[in-house]
């Protein structure tokens, strides 16, 4: 999915980053319905890839057990929540989502049965601390509604077990939307 670039409403002070549009969500749900019907009414196990994280990425870090690193101060998600995550939950086909955008994040967590994953930066940019570049590897197994994922770093090392992060909640920050908004 194309998650865009910068907020088209930035001039109205509505966030900084773009979001997945209603037309894209409609396209996704139509394709999901079509593929599910063609599979005897059973949703096809699927993965979703886009660049800018959904607002739910902030939620899993703040309110769920996660695995991995969050070296960026916050997830640079749009301030507009368009309901794409809710659509994926309703359709029942997406097992995991994969995003980039935040160069210092490589964590993952599960929300409502969907694993929300960051990749791993392929270049150490925009960080004032060392963070070895690498990639998130995904392994699908035919006939199963699950996947494995791990990190393969530039130096050839493999990280299968990432550090556990316990949720700490979210402080309200000036200029940022509160969790209840």
Quick: pLDDT tens for 27-77: 999 999 999 999 999 999 999 999 889 999 999 999 999 999 998 877 777
Question: 73, 65, 69, 74: which is closest to 168 by C-alpha?
Answer: 65
Confidence at residue 14, expressed as pLDDT on a 0 to 100 scale: 60
Euclidean distance between CA atoms 57 and 31, whole angstroms: 24
By the 8 A CB rule, do 106 and 59 touch?
A: no
Any long-range contacts for 2-11 (C-beta under 8 Å, 24+ apart)?
Answer: 2/50, 3/50, 3/51, 3/52, 3/99, 4/52, 7/78, 7/79, 7/80, 9/80
Q: How confident is the model at residue 173 (pLDDT cuts 50, 70, 90)?
A: low
Euclidean distance between CA atoms 179 and 49, whole angstroms: 25
């Amino acid at each position: 999915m194309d998650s865009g670039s910068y907020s088209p409403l930035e001039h109205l002070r509505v966030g900084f980053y773009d979001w997945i549009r209603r037309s894209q969500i409609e396209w996704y749900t139509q394709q999901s319905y079509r593929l599910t019907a063609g599979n005897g009414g059973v949703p096809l196990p699927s993965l979703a890839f886009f660049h800018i994280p959904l607002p739910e990425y902030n939620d899993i870090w703040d309110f769920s057990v996660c695995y991995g690193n969050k070296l960026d101060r916050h997830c640079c998600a749009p301030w507009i929540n368009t309901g794409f995550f809710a659509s994926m939950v309703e359709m029942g086909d997406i097992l995991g989502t994969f995003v980039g955008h935040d160069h210092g994040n490589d964590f993952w967590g599960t929300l409502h049965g969907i694993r929300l994953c960051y990749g791993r930066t392929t270049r150490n940019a925009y960080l004032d601390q060392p963070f070895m570049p690498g990639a998130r590897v995904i392994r699908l197994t035919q006939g199963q509604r699950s996947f494995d994922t791990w990190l393969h770093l530039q130096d050839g090392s493999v990280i299968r077990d990432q550090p556990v992060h316990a949720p700490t909640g979210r402080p309200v920050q000036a200029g940022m939307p509160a969790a209840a908004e």
